[in-house]
Amino acid sequence: MSMSGLLVSSGRYLRLAFGRGQISGDVQRRHVRIVQGITSGLAGRGVGVLVSFFSVPLTVRYLGAERYGAWVTISTAIAWIAIADVGLSSSLTNAVSEGYANDQRGLARAHVAAAFWSLVAIAGLLFIVFLSVWHSVHWDRVFNVQTAMARAEVGPTVAIALAIFALNLPFSIIAKIYGAYQEVAIANGWTAAGSILSLAALVAVTQLKGGLPSLVIAISGTTLLVNFVSALWLFGWSKPWLFPDPRRVTWHAVRRLSSQGWMFFVIQIAALVLFQTDNIIIAHYLGAAAVTPYSVTWRLFAYTTIFQTLAIPSFWPAYAEAFSRGDRGWVRHSFRFNLGISVVSTLALATPLVFFGHWVIQKWAGSAAVPPAVLLVLMAIWNIIYVVGCSQSCILASSSRLRGQMIYSLAAAAVNLIVTILLVPRIGISGAILGTISAYATCALVPQWIEVQHALRDAPQMGTDVPMGVLEQ
């Protein structure tokens, strides 16, 4: 499609997205829902950027470099534990999208109930295990903190963070359900509300001189509250037929979620090793204070991938529905569009940060967060590679082509871990992102591209073997 044609088409879908005109056909409906998801996500991300703009310098200056670094590292560790959902929430997207595509409420209802109650059981077991070992761990040594205040706070902070995580785990499916019904705009609205509430709670904690545990309660606790209210609205008013009644749990639904979930689980583990070990390795070899400039720079450059970040929650369920209906032509066209816009927009936003990133970080988060110049260049390169990989992963996940992606991700994670451990003690924090770039580009990006081409040509691998008993429930 030419640039003029693209602009005309985009303008038409924008008008439809805001209620100006009548939507006709599956193609228009998918495009309109994607536009609604991206535009609402942009508004929500604008709220998130403003919240982050105020919260990062507020927390860095309030906590100091060491306690802020400890907080970031604890958050990274909690991200590791998030894989405890064993891929159930991710596999739920494909199952519910299939039910939506074929108008099978029973299929969606059984899988929602199976995912919710499985996650309740996992969360309870996880917290019991944690409580049994918490007192025997020297948390100040684990996170390498030195000051008396940080050493006193880090243990209780870990306990509170994990307790809130366990309570929130079953509600991780809520955003997936909105996405599967291509109602990402609603999920984005709840996320924006949570961001605003978190900032208000953060300001209250700093004004009341609360410590690190209070900060975790303020930020993570508000997220839990918003997710709970969102679940009440979804199951009570929006889609009451999806209420996770334990009597609706079926063995077929559990088996299907598990058969895909374990592969999502392995991919999540690989992604955590690839993306989340950097802060832990830096803290171990260079101290918690060295995490601050790396983390702040990572967060700043993450804004350059805003289009892809906003697009994935909308494209994934739309791809899954299209694959389920055999509409691969639409998927091919949409994938090319998503890839092109993602790369161009990331490059346009990352280039100025390479030249002015020092000044931005200095003004934004203070001198403790200013990174070496080479880190700015490497972060720009990484984020361009990252959006290409995300575009590929969205196709593979939505078409249930997970086995190859699992292998590529594991290889990239192993190489990244080895290279980062070798480089960080020798060249500093820049070695962490250099390890990520080299591992992902060589082990994942190229083989995933080949796999994507097969997915766009071949028949979809979505599971459709649903017993009649499930459909009739």
Q: Does residue 286 have a pLDDT over 60? A: yes
Please give the Cα distance from 131 to 157 (Å, whole number): 14
C-alpha to C-alpha distances, 391 to 375, 388, 449, nearest whole angstrom: 24, 5, 10
- Indicate the pLDDT class of residue 470, thresholds 50, 70 and 90: very low
- The identity of residue 29, as a single letter, is R
Candidate from 82-86, 211-215, 424-428, 430-434 with smallest mean pLDDT: 82-86
Nearest to 296 by CA among 392, 242, 366, 390: 366
Nearest to 297 by CA among 368, 379, 382: 379
In the block, tokens 């990331």 appear at 346
Cα 265 from chain centre = 14
Instruction: With beta carbons less than 8 A apart as the criterion, state whether 26 and 325 touch.
Output: yes
Q: Does residue 467 have a pLDDT over 80? A: no
In the chain, the percentage of residues whose pLDDT exceeds 90 is 27
Nearest to 167 by CA among 241, 233, 96, 222: 222
Please give the Cα distance from 202 to 222 (Å, whole number): 10
- Does the model's pTM come out above 0.85? no
pLDDT of residue 431: 93
Candidate from 85-94, 291-300, 360-369, 394-403 with smallest mean pLDDT: 85-94
pLDDT of residue 469: 33
Cα 389 from chain centre = 14
Candidate from 58-72, 177-191, 252-266 with smallest mean pLDDT: 58-72
C-alpha to C-alpha distances, 333 to 283, 321, 368, 456, nearest whole angstrom: 44, 15, 46, 10
Instruction: With beta carbons less than 8 A apart as the criterion, state whether 35 and 17 touch.
Output: yes
- The identity of residue 424, as a single letter, is V
Nearest to 115 by CA among 93, 132, 133: 93
pLDDT of residue 473: 32
Q: Does residue 353 have a pLDDT over 60? A: yes
Q: What is the mean pLDDT of residues 439-449?
A: 93
- Where exactly are the structural domains of the chain? 26-461
Instruction: With beta carbons less than 8 A apart as the criterion, state whether 138 and 282 touch.
Output: no
In the chain, the percentage of residues whose pLDDT exceeds 70 is 87
SS3 402: coil
Q: What is the mean pLDDT of residues 258-269?
A: 84
| Token code pair at residue 355 | 């030249």
Nearby residues of 408 by Cβ (< 8 Å), 6 or more positions away: 443, 444, 447, 448, 451
The full DSSP string for 406-464 is HHHHHHHHHHHHHHHHHHHHHH-THHHHHHHHHHHIIIIIHHHHHHHHHHHHSPP----
| Token code pair at residue 240 | 């009451």
Instruction: With beta carbons less than 8 A apart as the criterion, state whether 301 and 353 touch.
Output: yes
Please give the Cα distance from 30 to 34 (Å, whole number): 6
- The identity of residue 31, as a single letter, is H
Please give the Cα distance from 388 to 342 (Å, whole number): 8
Please give the Cα distance from 240 to 243 (Å, whole number): 5
pLDDT of residue 158: 84
Q: Does residue 121 have a pLDDT over 60? A: yes
What's the Rg (C-alpha) of the chain? 22
Candidate from 20-24, 41-45, 143-147, 148-152 with smallest mean pLDDT: 20-24
pLDDT of residue 84: 63
pLDDT of residue 198: 84
- Tens digits of residue pLDDT in 29-74: 676 777 777 776 677 767 776 777 777 777 777 777 778 877 777 7
- Indicate the pLDDT class of residue 253, thresholds 50, 70 and 90: confident
